[in-house]
Chain A
Amino acid sequence: MSPVARRGALALGGLVVALVLGLTLAPRTSDVVAVVVLAAVAAGGGFVGSLPTVRAERPALARAMLTVVLVDLVLFATAFLSVPTDFNLATGAGMAVVLLGLSFLTGASGQISIGHGAFMGVGAFATAIWANHHATTPIVVTLLISVVVGALFGLLLGLPATRLRGPYLAGMTLAFAVAFPAILSSFSSWTGGDSGLQLPNSATAPHWLVGLFHAGTPTLTTDTLWLTDIVMVATGVAFFFMANLFASRTGRAMRLVRDNDVAAELVGVGLPRTRVIAFVISAAYAALGGALWTLLNNSVSPATYGFALSITILAVIVIGGIGTISGAIIGGVVYAYSTNVIAWFVARTGLNPQGNLASQLNGIIFGALLIATMMFSPLGIAGTIRHLRQRRALARERGDLRGTREGPTLAPESGTRR
């Protein structure tokens, strides 16, 4: 079977499975339309995106299709999952956007930030403040405004970064994270001081969604579903742009700066510009994540965006795989489920859930994982998976070569490839 036919069959099979699953699970006939559309998009996108010619000649299109499929599958899932699960996943998705920004900063320029919790807070408060002054602005515009504000903050702090090397920038971002609560309370007439801000009107699901899934009765469930889907789509768009950036000329220039800044300068990459751009983009992504959190919670509180969040963000992305795109997704999942897993662990071991140890278990585990990751596998879970896959591919290749008669002449048995 040709690769194209195989993929076609796979996509068709997926479509059928999705339809059967969806039609069995979907409670009303109106849902069927949604299920059919979502399944068709998944199958079609998956088919186009995985075509070898598309992957080779139109990588951006392939990435777009991959993003569409992934987001589509998540949307499909959210319609059938429980409200708390949806909310949890959306929280993780917002975090994944922040993690992607931090991962990009390190992966593209070799810098690190210990203040991304504060940049996240910038976006979160920008959204809430804007929504309180201009209640009618469409959500997309509010999100974009928050991203711009985040980028401006990134520019302000990133300007010194043009001349700084690693530890100075890390220390400066740490100082920003420590200062952020003071910034918030200095402008308490805008930021609402200690109590934070409520959004003026909570996002309500549009009529077509309500009509589709709940026979015309808007409920809390449909609203959460709507919000979750907004967050998921925004996350998908953010990941798509980042994947393209990583692969682009700018992305390559940035990686060269990371690996060897002197060589980068010699081939004409402007160091200061590259560093600032990387930092600004990274801050903008963090702001988008915070803005999504504000939408999701319908409110924002200064207590969320303290120093602790900043170091948690660093811990989670390092565990997931700093410098990689998939590491941000893994980190988001780890973040979303760490609380549940630890609560489960506490219940299983019979620790006092209100005790000191149980309440600090989070920090102990994250800290230990952070150190262990850096010591033994600096690219985190994503890097470890990649490494294992490469090893398997290499082993398979060797096996293939051994099986054919002319193998040894093509690749010497030992020593050259490791």
Chain B
Amino acid sequence: MDGFLTSRVVTDILGGLTNGAIYGLVALSLVLVWRATRVLNFAQGAMPMFATYLGMGLLSYHWPYWVCVGVSLVAALAIGAVTERVLVRPLYGKPEINPIVVMVGYLIILEAFAAAIWSTTPRSLPAPFSPIDWKLAGRPVGLSPFSLFEIVTALVVMGAIVTLFRFTRLGLQLRASALAPEVSRLLGVRVGRMLTLGWMLSTAVGAVTAILVASNFFTGLTPQLMDGIFAFGFIAAAVGGLDSPVGAVASGIALGVVLQFVGDYLNSNAIILVALGILIVSLMVRPNGLLTRSTARRV
């Protein structure tokens, strides 16, 4: 049994689950925004990055770790709300490339400002739990307290989002605003407010992700922190279907595991190449995602 737990396959699966949890969270945050406002948010990595700098920067003033995490989340909620109201709202009903371009501009600005204020030097964040793998009979298992924390956090966040959308009045209003804004407005739902809330939720999920990513010893917090992760998150969301939260999370986790094997058995350069290949093939087979029901496009 010990031998099995420390075998290469199991280690890869566990490591893959950890990465996959991160990809799944990014994919989930993309889906939240897409469902609410039909915008693919290319600044979905940069906005939480900025919030993380704001919150976790307080560590250097000796604020307690969890308070800093809380401040980051509040900052993320605020950034999400302001972004939706100021940048995104004027874009509803415009050609679909307009929000894409605006969000890329926002990405450029946020990364430039972050670098101008906090410099491009990586800033290491303390991991709240040990990032060193547990050992069985002297061999690493491929799972550390911190990576377990990552997986658990991801599951909790996903569970909270599902609960919110499925079982609460607010969640019903959120779904209604996304699917039928006119009808919802007639029935008394404050649709504008719901869209803002969608962006706030999404940015908060992003901030959780950004803190987890930045706590990784090897990367640290940098302005470009989320560029690469965003690409994987997008691939997960596109493969699973931008309309399907469950699909996004599931394909994020699956992607993480597959890519861990690719990285281990091939090489690290092959990871993003295989991911790109998966994206191309899956988009050719199912342009709307593997896990969504096909829908007719209204003309």
Show the binding face of A for B, using Cβ within 8 Å.
106, 110-112, 114, 156-157, 159-160, 163-168, 170-172, 174-176, 178-179, 182-183, 185-186, 262, 307, 311, 314-315, 318, 322, 356-357, 359-364, 366-371, 374-375, 378
Contacts and interface: CB of A to CB of B under 8 A. Distances in A.
21 contacts: A110-B95, A112-B101, A114-B104, A163-B284, A166-B97, A167-B34, A167-B40, A167-B242, A174-B234, A176-B276, A178-B231, A179-B272, A186-B270, A311-B104, A318-B105, A356-B117, A361-B116, A368-B109, A371-B87, A375-B102, A378-B94
Which of B94, B101, B117, B267 has its CB near the most chain A CB atoms (within 10 A)?
A: B101
A358 to B, nearest CB: 9
Nearest to B94: A378
Given A174-B231, A374-B102, A160 B273 contact: no
A376 to B, nearest CB: 10
* Residue of B97, B227, B275 most packed against chain A (CB within 10 A): B97
Contacts of B271: 182
A120 to B, nearest CB: 17
A309 to B, nearest CB: 12
A311 B238 CA distance: 21
A369 B267 CA distance: 40
A170 B41 CA distance: 11
Contacts of A370: 101-102, 104-105, 108
A315 B280 contact: no
Interface residues of B, number: 50
A375 B91 CA distance: 8
Contact of A170 (B100, B102, B106, B117): B100
B269 A185 contact: yes
Contact of B280 (A157, A185, A314, A371): A157
A114 B42 contact: yes
B104 A314 contact: yes
Nearest to B111: A363
A168 B287 contact: yes
Contacts of B105: 315, 318, 366-371, 374
B109 A363 contact: yes
B228 interface: yes
Contact of B112 (A168, A176, A363, A375): A363
Contact of B96 (A165, A371, A374): A165
Given A106-B97, A186-B270, A363 B108 contact: yes
A367 B109 CA distance: 5
B276 A163 contact: no
B113 A167 contact: no
Q: Max chain B CB contacts within 10 Å: which of A167, A307, A364, A369?
A: A167
Interface in B97-131: 97-98, 100-102, 104-113, 115-117, 119-120
B256 to A, nearest CB: 16
B273 A172 contact: no
Interface in B204-252: 227-228, 230-231, 234-235, 238, 242
B68 interface: no
Contacts of A361: 112, 116
B188 interface: no
User: Which of A166, A307, A311, A356 has the most CB atoms of chain B within a 10 A radius of its CB?
Assistant: A356
B108 A311 contact: yes
Nearest to A183: B273
A322 B107 CA distance: 19
Interface string B119-156: 11000000000000000000000000000000000000
A361 B101 CA distance: 19
Nearest to B100: A170
A112 B42 CA distance: 13
B299 interface: yes
A298 B48 CA distance: 41
Contacts of A176: 276
B100 A166 contact: yes
A164 to B, nearest CB: 6
Nearest to B270: A186
Nearest to B38: A167
Contacts of B10: none
A364 B280 contact: no
Contact of A175 (B94, B102, B106, B234): B234
A168 to B, nearest CB: 6
A363 B112 CA distance: 5
Nearest to A323: B97
A231 B161 CA distance: 55
A172 B279 contact: yes
Interface string B42-80: 100000000000000000000000000000000000000
Nearest to B105: A370
A314 B101 CA distance: 8
Interface in B246-267: 267
A389 B120 CA distance: 44
A172 B272 CA distance: 12
Given A167-B40, A174-B234, A311 B107 contact: yes
A171 B40 contact: yes
B284 A160 contact: yes
Contacts of A179: 231, 272-273, 275-276
Nearest to A172: B279
Given A163-B283, A176-B276, A367-B110, 6 more contacts: A167-B40, A179-B275, A307-B227, A371-B106, A374-B102, A378-B98
A171 to B, nearest CB: 5
Contacts of B94: 378
Contacts of B93: none
Contact of B238 (A112, A171, A314): A171
